[in-house]
Structure 1
Amino acid sequence: MVALNLLDGVGMVAAALTTGAFVPQLLKIWRSRSAADISYGMYIAFITGVLLWLGYGVAIESMPMVVSNAAILLQAIAVLVLKRRFEAQDPTPVIRVSPYRRR
C-alpha cells in the first residue's frame, strides 16, 4: 500500500479540480453540436504543454502529476476530436461580423 503524504493529497485535489474543469466545456460542445469558438492553435499549444508536464511527472515519479495530466490530455484531445467531427457535419462556412465599424 502506498502512503500519501500531505503534499500528494494537495496534488490530488488540485488534479481533480483542474481535470474536472474540462467537463463543462465538453458537455457544452456535445449538447450544442458545435465547437466553432474553440481555437485549434490554443488546444495544440495546450496539449503540447500537457505532454511536457506528463513527461516531467513520469521523470520525477509524481503520481498526482501523471494521473491528472493523462486525464487532462484525454479530455483536451476529446475537445479537438469533437471540434473536427462537428465541423465535418456542418459544411456551412461561418461568417463573423465585427460589432465595430472601421473608419
Structure 2
Amino acid sequence: MPEPKSAFDGLYPCDFYEPAELLEPDQCYTVYEIARLLQDLDPDAGLEPETEDVLLDWAIPWIMTNAEDLVVADPRSDDEPGYYGLRRPEDLPESN
C-alpha cells in the first residue's frame, strides 16, 4: 500500500552508480557481488539470506538497465552463477 512521504524520516536522491564507477575494468562479478558493491559493501561481505534477497532486488534491474555497458561470462560450473564485467572493445570478438 502506498505511504505518504511525510511518514518517512527522510527522503534521498535515487542515484545509482554508473558501471565504470562501480566495477574494475579487468574484473568480472557475480550478481551477488554487484549487489554488495551497490550498497558500498565488500564484494565478499557475509550477509543474511534475507538481506541478500533485498539487495538482489536492486542489483538485477541495475544490470538490465546497464546491459549496454556490460559483458556477461558463462558460469564455470553448473553450481556457479554467471559473471558480469565492464564492456571494453578488447573483450568482445570482432564481428565480420
Do the structures match in fold with TM over 0.5? no
More helix by share: 1
Normalised to the residue count of structure 2, the TM-score between the two structures is: 0.34
More strand by share: 2
Structure showing greater Rg: 1
Normalised to the residue count of structure 1, the TM-score between the two structures is: 0.33
Structure number with greater CO (CA < 8 Å, separation at least 6) is: 1
